[in-house]
Amino acid sequence: MQLEVLQRKENPLLKRVEVTFKATHKAEPTPTRDALRAFLAKELKATKDIVVIDYQASTFGRYETLGEAKVYKTKEEALAVERKHILVRNKLIEPEVRKEAVPKPEKPAPAPRAEKAEKPATPAPKAEAPKAEAKPEAKPEKPAPREEKKPGAKEEKKPAEKKPEKKDEKKAEKKPEGKKKEAK
């Protein structure tokens, strides 16, 4: 693997060097973050624990990985400035594992239904809205199940049955009664 530093910028305020790099890895898989950190540390004459890779990205079909990294003066400065998820990715700190939440106290079991029936209940009269009468719809009859064909037996072809037209009936159902127009 070959590592090439494309851009190098000093940042004295945050006490770090910001680097843009390109790693060429022919006949090898995409390098891991740890491998890139080791190569960058060697290239920039620093230790691996002060190198933080912000991102790395490989292009499909190419043997190149482009990315950005930061090299701090000390590990403490890196821990103070960098975001936690970046530090976890670079394995400078351990991920925070959430401890199991304190179990919630269990709710008392619901009372048996027999006890509920014993309680006096005063039903309040409710005003019911008038229900609209539903018109029964004619359901189409299901055709008889087809008989399976037996090998070797010839069946006579039956003429296709014509279905009665229901278009006029459907149109009449859709139109409200007050707005019916007579057919001419």
Is the entire prediction scored with pTM above 0.75? no
Confidence check: pLDDT of 68 > 80: yes
Q: Which of 33, 63, 66 is nearest to 51 (CA)?
A: 33
Q: What is residue 43's predicted lDDT score, i.e. its pLDDT?
A: 92
77 vs 112: which has the higher pLDDT: 77
Q: How far is CA 97 from CA 83, 92, 102, in A?
A: 17, 15, 15
Q: What is the mean pLDDT of the chain?
A: 79
**Strands annotated E in the chain:** 2-11, 16-24, 51-58, 64-72
Q: What is residue 113's predicted lDDT score, i.e. its pLDDT?
A: 74
Q: Determine which of 33-42, 139-148, 158-167 has the lowest per-residue pLDDT on average.
A: 158-167
Q: What is residue 108's predicted lDDT score, i.e. its pLDDT?
A: 72
* Sole residue written with tokens 């070797």: 152
Q: Go through the domains of the chain in sequence order and give each one's CATH number.
A: 2-89 (3.30.70.330)
Report the pLDDT averaged over residues 150-177: 60
Report the pLDDT averaged over residues 55-81: 94
